Every structure is written in structure tokens, then in C-alpha cells.
Amino acid sequence: MSIEYPVKTPYLQALEDLSIALSTSEKEGISTAEASIRTKQFGLNSYKSQKQKSIWQMAFEQFNSPIVYLLLVAGLVSLYFKNSLEAIAIFIVIVVNAIIGFFMELQARTSMRALKKMDVSYAKVVRGGKELEIASEQLTIGDLLLLEAGDVVSGDGRIVFSNGLQVDESSLTGESFPVFKTSNIDNEKLESSHALNMVYKGTAVLNGNAKVIITGIAEHTELGKISELVGRSKSTKTPLDIKIGKLTKKLIWITLVLILVFVITGLLEGRAWLEVLKTSIALAVAAFPEGLPIVATVALAYGMLLMARKNAIVKKLSSVETLGSVNVILTDKTGTLTENKISVEMLSFPDQEFHVSMKNGKLKFKEDDIEKSKENFDFLVRIGTLCNNAPVNPDAKNQKAFGDPVEISLLLLADAAGFPAQKTVSEFERLSEIPFSSESKLMATLHKANKSFFVSAKGAVEKVLLKCSHIQSGDSILDLSAEKKKEILSKAELLSASGLRVLAFAYQSSDTKPDEDYLKDLVYVGLVGFLDPPRRDIKGAISECHSAGIKIVMITGDHPMTALNIAKRVGIAEEQDDKVIAGSELPDMAALSKEWKGRILSTTVFARTTPKQKLEIVDVYQKAGYIVAMTGDGVNDAPALKKANVGIAMGLRGTQVAKETASIVLKDDSFASITHAVAHGREIFQNIQRFVIYLVSCNLSEILIITILGFLAQGTMLFPLQILFLNMITDVFPALALGLGKGDLTVMQRPPRDPKLGIVSNRNWLVILIYAVLMSGAVILAIFMCRFYITSDVKVINNVAFITLASCQLFHVFNMSSLQSGMIMNEVTKNKFVWLALLLCFFLLIVVYFFEASREALNLNVISGQAWLIAILSSMLPLIFVQLYKLFRMQKSQSQQSTKNLNK
């Protein structure tokens, strides 16, 4: 018999009709033979995890960059002109850069594999009337699935029978509290994702047991739909990729313009075509900093390793720097800002209310005096312990494993208050239980202790009050009036409005055994407000983000008031702020008005949002020019994690879908780790900016020298291989050292940089030009001094120019310190890598000069000591000029500050 699949609105169909439509039985399920046929027809019950890049694809991507394309062209041109040494040097640069990037991404992939948790792989089903345990991927449509506490649901299904079934759907919906399930049809429920008579793939059973007819597997589950949404959402290009691309294009245009001017001028002057072409190649090699890709890759890789030490695994190199650009963090609530475990937050008795906290297993009240309500408190703790099906030795660190988290929190309260749950349970023998149901909305238990009987009850406030005739007020038991009931209901509504889940507690004590219906004439004791509490370190981390100019926005699937309560407690929202946008309020994003965009951008709390809406909110921020980081741990967060500029998943509690999608995974699930990572990202950008200015100013000096010598003294012009040597040795190692330096300590006390600005700003270009002119001037001075005092031999003059420029560029690294830092002790002089780089570079210069083969390759000759002296002294002039200027600026600044202080 053919069946209709996917099944439409199974939560609205009668069980008999659904069984007929799926050709299955509510008692015996489908046969094993039929299951095999359906598996072939509908496929396995496994969603397609995001396709991981192959090793070859990862390797190829290292070459997919404008910088690499330019280097390849330069290498091929060198080969064409039979300059094999130049070509080999350029190709080595490309390969080294690719190897570094490849192995760092491979390391991140290995770290991710180490983080992966084993998924639940088996399911219990009834087939042909027999119970079987099968691989969860073999589950198929019409299967009768058996569920009990501790199981992870293997497919979407309609509940046939349930006994106190309670499911944690937080990974799918973002809801903090577990959901009680029923087999009844809710005609008002129009959305399948929250239907009370359905269970969903990937959610966890906390309590009770059930039989379920499977109505959806693989991509036709709620989990599968979200996974498909992840596949459709596009990854966003990182700011660093964009900025380096822009810088590369700018350098290409500068090079082409200079070459064009030089070629036209040379041909008009009647110079030989071959000479003009060789000079043009030299200009092309000089114009572009070949070491830039290597230095950028190593700086990012170093940052990646530092972040790993701070519990942040970075899966893509460019994400390291992108974090430093972030100016808004969109964060999930459950499990990210909160502990993802329920605790007692508030106790409300007839005469007193208390905020509750527990530390190191001990109970702490914000108010000391509880004498008025001591009797109520004692009874409430006893009721919470006895009217409870959670294990009596709960593990506070692993509340999700067994039992209702609300009931576990009541046991922890009893232990912390000095009434050990195990002792109470052993003293009061349980005789019977009236289980919680979605209709009654309360639970009650009957106990015997010695010769007396004790009834304990807890549940929805209005339901419990209907069963109460008296109220505990201190040591006295009084009649419960209608006015008092209204007062209690008003208190409960206020607590609920603040985002707490509220339960009422009542009891009855007698010397005779109560009737079978013992839910009557109860004594009301008090209310308990429950909350998923904020993580301990979260408030400080958010405060640090605000100091750094980063906006924090909460986007959750939880209740609006619960979300606002947490937002206020952690510092996301102001105490007087009452603005929350619920998902049901949000209009269709395709036709979003300007007013609505403004509302979205000015709101800090979004509640009851769907995965699609989270994705769209990220898009609104990105289109407004923000660099967005998105944090989350659930399946429902995955599409937005992929869409964001930086997706950050929780490594401990995060679902595998979220971890696969994100570009950064936190090993400790701590929001504080994000602030450390942002600080590293900002430091890394400072380092990148510093070494880019260094490299570009060095290369611009080479362009100016070649252009000037090309017009004035063609024979003394630097050779392409000499320039390549400078670019790869005297430029790269100092630049690399700058890239590994420690950042500014005040990096998190300043607002994020403007994402529209490039790596090199207009002011930076002016500074670069000044540096280049100073270095070029030093080289030209050395050439004229050599010609005037020593010799006019073009080979010697070429060598003096080469040595002067090499030394000049090495000393130039000390000009990269900030204006605010000291002359002697600053971020550059304190950087040990800078000193190691200088020693290495000077050593390599000496080695190259003293070996005949390397001298011949670089067109070097043995020159006199006088020539060496002119070269070294001339090379120090730019450093002296820059440092004198900085000293003048510092003194002027100090003088102005002193004048301001005197005026005050």
C-alpha cells in the first residue's frame, strides 16, 4: 500500500486516521519486511551533514587570492625572460605561504574532530509486535518508537501513548524549560514545531515514557528543515579578505601606472626596447610586497594558536582578524548567557518573599530574617523533595542527564537548606502518586511516616489553589479566603511577568489515611519562581564588550519576559528597558520598512524567534554596515551562525550541527572567551597594519629608487633578483616579527575601527610616502657620495645602493613604534622577535656577500671598506630623522598637556 509522504499536519490528525494513512499499527508497528521496503523507498534517517572540504580543496584554496595571482604572473614573466632564479624565488614564496595556511586549517579540523561527541546511534521500536533495538538511521516512516528517560528522539513522531513524558527541546526551540507532552490533539496549534502531541528528532527525553508513530525522518524532520536552511545560507566574506583584496588592487594600479609612465618616457627618449622592458620588470617586482601573503598568514596562524590556548578553536585563519572588526555580537540565551540548568530563584510565602542563591552547596538569602516564614519554608522544602521523581542524589553539573530539571533544583534546594533529600525520602514511604498531566497541571504524592500520613502537591498556581482550603501562616493554619487566593494569584502573575516559571506548593497532614482522592482540603504553603540563571562570568564579559564599543543583542526562542529578565541581569538591557520584540511581531523581512529596520537595530532583546528570523536579523545588521558575530549552541542557531561574519559555537553543550557550521568553537562554552578572542583579533589587526605599512613603504622606496635611477643612471639601477632578495629577506623577517608582537594593553578600551576603512588609511599612505622618500633619499645620497669620493664604477655604485637600501629597510623597523610609546622602550624594541629578525637578516647579508656563488647570482662584487661605511651611515639617516621628529612631537604634546593642567 502506498503512503503519503511527507505527512502533512500529523499533529492535527486523529490517531486512527494517521495509522491508516501510514499503514501502521498503534500496537504492533510495521513489519520488518515493510520497514526494509520503506527504507529503500524513503532513504536512511540521517540528515546530510555539511560537506567537509576535501584535502585537495583545502590545498587549492590557499592559492585562490589576488596576491597569489599577481605573484604567479611575475614568476611566469621571469621564466619567459629566462630569469630562472627570480622565477624559482617567486614560486617558493607562493608554495611556503600555501603550506602554512594549509597546515593551520588542517590543525583546526583535527581539533574539531577531537571535540565531536558521539551521537546516540540506537532506537527502540516495535516491529510486528516485537521490541527491537535498531540503528537510528534505520528508523523509517510508520515505525512505532519507544521512548523513556535518557533517550534522544531519533525522528519526528506523533505520540500514541505517554506517561508523564517530558522533553527538553532547547536545542531546537531555545526554550529553557522542558515541555510536557500529551497524545491529545490541540486544535489551536497551527505550527508543528511546538505541537504538544509531537516529539522531534534531536530532542532529549527527561522524564516518563511514550510510544510514538514516526511521521518524519532525515530532511523531513524539524531538524532536517533547519539543516537545509543552513545549506541555503551563504557564508560571508571576511573583512580581512576584502581589505587585502582592495590593497592588492591599489598596488596593482600603482604598479601599472608607474610602468606605463616609464615605458612611454623611455621609448620617447629613444632607449632600447629590451632595457625599458627589463626596467619595467624590476619595477613590477619592486612594487609588490612578495612577503605580504606569508607574513599575513603567519601572523594569523600565530593568533590562531594563541586563541586555542584561550579555549577558542578557530577553523578558518581569516576569522582571527575578523573578530577584531566585530562591532555587534548577536547571542543566544540558553546555554550561552545562561547555565542551561534550572535553579530556584525566588521563594514567595504569605508573609515574606526571598531571592535565593546557592554557593558551594550552601543556601544564601539576600535577606537574613526568615523567622516569620520558617514553618512555610520547612514545609515547602519537604513538599519539593517528596512530590518529586528526580533521583535523590542529583549531579548539579549534569542536570540534563536524568529527571526534570525543575525537580532536580528542588532537591538541590533541600540539600543546601540542611534537609538532605535522601534522608527525607527514606523517612516518608511513598504510598501512591497522582502524576502530572497537561490537563490537571499538578502532581501529588501520598506518604506515610511512622503512624501519620502526609500529602504533598505542586503545580500550576491556579490549579493548586483550587484544591486548597487553608493557608500556612507562620506557625498557624488559617482558612484560605477568596481574597487571599486573588492576592496569591496576583503575586504569581508578577513573578511570571518578570520571566520566572512559577509553581505553587501545598500539603495535608493527618493521623488517618486519606481517601483515594486525596487532592482536597490542602494547606497552601507558598510559591517558587524558577529560572535558568546567568553564567557567573557573563556580566563582566559583557561589560568588557561594551567598554570596547561592541553592541550585544540577545536573540532567543525563549519567553519574552524570561529573555528580558536575563538581559537586565547580565547587563545587555538597562533596568528601565522594557523593549522586547517577539518573533510573532516581526514582519516579512523581504518587505521590511525603514521604520522596522530602525526598530530592529535599536532593540537589544528578541524572543520567540525562529531559525529563519535569526538569519534575517543577522542580514539586517550586515546590510546596515555592521560586522556581526553570532553565538549559539542549538540546531536552531546554525543558519545564523553560517550567515554571520563570525559564527561562534559552544564546544561542550553545542549541537554537532552548530559546531560544524561555526567558524570558531569555544572549548569552555564561556562568553568570556569571546572577549579574549576579540582582544586578540584587534591586536592582530594592529600588527597586520604595522607590517603592511612597513612592507609597502619599503617597496615604495624601491619603486622610487628604480624610477629615479632609470632616468638618471640606468647602469646603476637595481636588478630584479636584488629587489626580490630584499623583498624576501630584509623585508619579510622584520615584518614577520612585527606581526608576532604583543598588542596595545588598551585595545579593549577603544571602539571598534570603522569597517569601511582599509588596512592602510589615507593618513597611512602619507606616512608611507614620507618613509619611502626618506629611504630613497638615503640611497641616492649614498650613490652620489660613492661616485664623488670613491669611484664611478657602475657595479660598485649598484652594490652600494643595494647595501644601503637593505640596511635602511632593516633599521626602518624601529620607525614602526607608535607616537605615544617611548623612544627606547616601546612595543617594537620590547619585541624579541624583532631583534632575532635583525640578527638573522644581517647575518644573511654577510653570508650572501662572502660566498662567490651567491654574489654572482645577485650581481654583487667585493667593495672597499669606505663604500661599506658610506652605505651603513647613509642607511641610518631615515631612522635618525624619524626618531627626532617623534621626539619633537612628544615634547610638544607634553608641553600642551602641561599648559592645559596649569589653566585648570
- Of the residues 143, 156, 168, 332, only one is catalytic, namely 332
Cβ atoms of residues 356 and 345 within 8 Å: yes
Cβ atoms of residues 683 and 747 within 8 Å: yes
Please give the order of strands across the beta sheet that includes 551-555. Answer: 312-314, 664-666, 646-650, 628-632, 328-331, 551-555, 605-607, 581-582
Distances 389 to 385, 406, 444, 639 between C-alpha atoms, Å:
9, 11, 11, 37
On the question of pLDDT at 60 being above 70, the answer is yes
Q: What is the DSSP letter of 901?
A: H
Q: What is the DSSP letter of 7?
A: P
Q: Could you read off the pLDDT of 709-749 as tens digits, one per residue?
A: 766 665 667 777 787 778 777 777 888 888 888 766 677 87
| Distance in Å from the first CA to the final CA of the chain | 93
DSSP string computed for 184-247? S--TT---GGG-TTEE-TT-EEEEEEEEEEEEE-GGGSHHHHHHHHHHHSPPPPPHHHHHHHHH
User: Does residue 817 sit in helix, strand or coil?
Assistant: coil
Cβ atoms of residues 748 and 675 within 8 Å: yes
Q: Within a 10 A sphere around the Cβ of 11, how many other Cβ atoms?
A: 23
pLDDT on residue 115 = 42
Amino acid identity of residue 833, one-letter, is F
Angle between helix 292-309 and 671-712 (nearest 10): 170
- Greater pLDDT, 255 or 167: 167
Query: What are the contacts of 814-817 at 24+ separation with CB within 8 A?
Result: 814/879, 814/883, 815/771, 815/878, 815/879, 815/882, 815/883, 816/690, 816/691, 816/693, 816/694, 816/738, 817/886
Ranking 12-16, 44-48, 339-343, 643-647 by mean pLDDT, the lowest is 44-48
pLDDT on residue 429 = 93
- Greater pLDDT, 529 or 677: 529
Residue 237 is placed in which grid cell?
566574506
Ranking 124-138, 348-362, 497-511, 746-760 by mean pLDDT, the lowest is 746-760
Q: Could you read off the pLDDT of 93-148 as tens digits, one per residue?
A: 678 767 766 765 665 565 445 444 433 457 889 999 888 888 888 999 999 999 88
Q: Using a pLDDT cut of 70, give the percent of the chain over it.
A: 82
Residue 599 is placed in which grid cell?
526598530
pLDDT on residue 782 = 93
pLDDT on residue 401 = 43
Q: Could you read off the pLDDT of 655-711 as tens digits, one per residue?
A: 666 777 788 888 877 788 888 888 888 888 888 888 888 988 988 888 888 777 766
- Greater pLDDT, 400 or 170: 170
Cβ atoms of residues 155 and 55 within 8 Å: no
Q: Could you read off the pLDDT of 180-197 as tens digits, one per residue?
A: 888 887 655 555 557 888
Q: Could you read off the pLDDT of 358-369 as tens digits, one per residue?
A: 777 777 765 555
- Greater pLDDT, 232 or 730: 730
- Greater pLDDT, 816 or 302: 816
> Is position 517 annotated as part of the catalytic site?
no
pLDDT on residue 399 = 42
On the question of pLDDT at 486 being above 90, the answer is yes
In whole numbers, what is the pLDDT of the chain averaged over residues? 81
pLDDT on residue 240 = 65
Global pTM value: 0.67
Q: Could you read off the pLDDT of 254-282 as tens digits, one per residue?
A: 777 777 877 777 777 676 676 666 666 66
Contacts of residue 326, Cβ cutoff 8 Å, sequence gap at least 6: 550, 627, 628, 629, 645, 646, 678, 681, 752
Fold topology of 10-49+118-222: 2.70.150
d(C-alpha 213, C-alpha 198), whole Å: 9
d(C-alpha 630, C-alpha 319), whole Å: 13
Q: Span 493-522, mean pLDDT?
A: 90
Q: Span 490-505, mean pLDDT?
A: 90
Amino acid identity of residue 542, one-letter, is I
Distances 674 to 323, 667, 681 between C-alpha atoms, Å:
9, 11, 10
d(C-alpha 512, C-alpha 446), whole Å: 12
Residue 586 is placed in which grid cell?
516581526
d(C-alpha 116, C-alpha 652), whole Å: 9
Tell which CATH architecture fits domain 347-529: 3-Layer(aba) Sandwich (3.40)
Domain boundaries, the chain: 10-49+118-222, 66-99+265-301+683-899, 347-529
pLDDT on residue 398 = 45
pLDDT on residue 743 = 66
Ranking 303-307, 396-400, 777-781, 815-819 by mean pLDDT, the lowest is 396-400
On the question of pLDDT at 64 being above 70, the answer is yes
User: Does residue 470 sit in helix, strand or coil?
Assistant: strand
Tell which CATH architecture fits domain 66-99+265-301+683-899: Up-down Bundle (1.20)
pLDDT on residue 396 = 45
